[in-house]
Structure 1
Amino acid sequence: MEKQSGLIRKTNVRYAMLALVFVNVMINYLDRSNLSVAAAALSKDLSLSTVQMGLIFSAFGWTYAILQIPGGLIADRIGPRVLYAVCLITWSIATVCQGFARGFVSLFGLRLATGAFEAPSYPINNRIVTSWFPNHERASAIALYVSGQFIGLAFFTPVLVTIQYYAGWKGLFVTTGLVGLIWGLIWYFFYRDPLDHPRVNAEELNYIQKGGGLIEGKKIDKTQPSIWKWINLKQVIGSRNLWGVYIGQFAMNAMLWFFLTWFPTYLVQYRGLNFIKSGYLASIPFLAACAGLLLSGFVSDYLIRQGKSIAMARKTPIIIGLVVSASIVGANYSTSTTAIIFFMALAFFGAGMALISWVFVSILSPKHLIGLTGGVFNFMGNLASIIVPIVIGYLAKDGDFKPALVFIGALGLIGACSYLFLVRNIEPPIILTEEKEPKVLSAS
Structure 2
Amino acid sequence: MQSHHTIPTETSGSNPTRVRWGILAILFIITTVNYADRATISIASPELKKLLGLSPVEMGYVFSAFAWSYVLAQLPGGWLLDRFGSKITYFFSIFLWSLFTLMMGWVGFFTGATAVALLFGLRLLVGAAEAPSFPGNSRITSAWFPTNERGTAAAIFNSAQYFATVLFAPLMGWLVHTFGWESVFYVMGGLGILMAFVWTRTIYSPKTHPRINAAELSYIEAGGALVDLDSGDTSKKTNNINTWACIKQLLANRMLLGVYIGQYCITTLTYFFLTWFPVYLVTERHMTILKAGFIAALPAVAGFLGGILGGYVSDRMIKAGYSLSAARKTPIVAGMLLAMSMIVCNYVTADWMVIAMMSLAFFGKGIGALGWAVVSDTSPKEAGGLSGGLFNTFGNTAGITTPIAIGYILQSTGSFAGALVFVGANAAVAIFCYLVVVGDIKRFEFKKSVM
TM-score normalised by the chain length of structure 2? 0.90
Distance in 1 separating the partners of 2:312 and 2:417: 34
Residue 430 of structure 2 corresponds to residue 415 of structure 1:
yes
- Asked whether the 8 Å contact 1:56–1:108 carries over to 2, the reply is yes
- Which moves more between the two structures, 101-110 or 355-364? 101-110
Within a 5 Å distance, the mapping from 1:180-259 to structure 2 comes to: 180-219=192-231, 220=234, 226-259=240-273
- The amino acid across from 1:24 in the alignment is I
Residue 109 of structure 1, aligned match among 89, 110, 121: 121
- Asked whether the 8 Å contact 1:284–1:345 carries over to 2, the reply is yes
Residue 322 of structure 2, aligned match among 308, 318, 324: 308
Q: 1:167 to 1:70 in 2, by over 3 A?
A: same
Residue 395 of structure 2 corresponds to residue 381 of structure 1:
yes
Residue number in structure 1 paired with 2:64: 58
Residue 18 of structure 2, aligned match among 5, 12, 32: 12
Distance in 1 separating the partners of 2:283 and 2:321: 50
What per-residue deviation string (whole Å, max 9, x for no partner) do you get for residues 16-56 of structure 1?
A: 111111111011012112222333445566x4534654433
Residue number in structure 2 paired with 1:367: 381
1:425, distance to aligned residue in structure 2 (A): 2.1
Unaligned 5+ segments in structure 1 are 437-444
- Which moves more between the two structures, 345-354 or 94-103? 94-103
1:166, distance to aligned residue in structure 2 (A): 4.8
Residue number in structure 1 paired with 2:3: none
What per-residue deviation string (whole Å, max 9, x for no partner) do you get for residues 254-290 of structure 1?
A: 1111122222333333344555444432221111111
Residue 416 of structure 2 corresponds to residue 401 of structure 1:
yes
Distance in 1 separating the partners of 2:282 and 2:105: 28
- Which moves more between the two structures, 97-106 or 405-414? 97-106
Q: For the aligned residues, what is the CA RMSD?
A: 2.3
Q: 1:211 to 1:379 in 2, by over 3 A?
A: same
What percentage of aligned pairs have identical amino acids?
40
- Asked whether the 8 Å contact 1:12–1:200 carries over to 2, the reply is yes
Within a 5 Å distance, the mapping from 1:44-443 to structure 2 comes to: 47=52, 49-50=54-55, 53-101=59-107, 102=110, 103-219=115-231, 220=234, 226-273=240-287, 275-396=289-410, 397-434=412-449
1:383, distance to aligned residue in structure 2 (A): 0.9
SS in 1 for 2:369: helix
What per-residue deviation string (whole Å, max 9, x for no partner) do you get for residues 326-357 of structure 1?
A: 12222222232222222211111111111111
- Asked whether the 8 Å contact 1:225–1:433 carries over to 2, the reply is no
- Asked whether the 8 Å contact 1:231–1:432 carries over to 2, the reply is no
Q: 1:280 to 1:216 in 2, by over 3 A?
A: same
1:392, distance to aligned residue in structure 2 (A): 2.1
Residue 42 of structure 2 corresponds to residue 36 of structure 1:
yes
- Which moves more between the two structures, 346-355 or 112-121? 346-355
Unaligned 5+ segments in structure 2 are 1-9
SS in 2 for 1:196: coil
Using CA pairs below 8 Å that are at least 6 residues apart, which structure has the higher relative contact order?
Answer: 2
- The amino acid across from 1:132 in the alignment is W
1:94, distance to aligned residue in structure 2 (A): 1.3
TM-score normalised by the chain length of structure 1? 0.91
What per-residue deviation string (whole Å, max 9, x for no partner) do you get for residues 341-400 of structure 1?
A: 222111111111111111111222211111111111111011111112222233332224
1:152, distance to aligned residue in structure 2 (A): 1.2
- Asked whether the 8 Å contact 1:251–1:414 carries over to 2, the reply is yes
- Which moves more between the two structures, 370-379 or 253-262? 253-262
- Asked whether the 8 Å contact 2:169–2:296 carries over to 1, the reply is no
Distance in 2 separating the partners of 1:202 and 1:352: 35
Distance in 2 separating the partners of 1:49 and 1:278: 20
What per-residue deviation string (whole Å, max 9, x for no partner) do you get for residues 379-438 of structure 1?
A: 1011111112222233332224333222221211110110011111233422122289xx
1:127, distance to aligned residue in structure 2 (A): 0.3
Residue 39 of structure 2 corresponds to residue 27 of structure 1:
no
SS in 1 for 2:322: coil
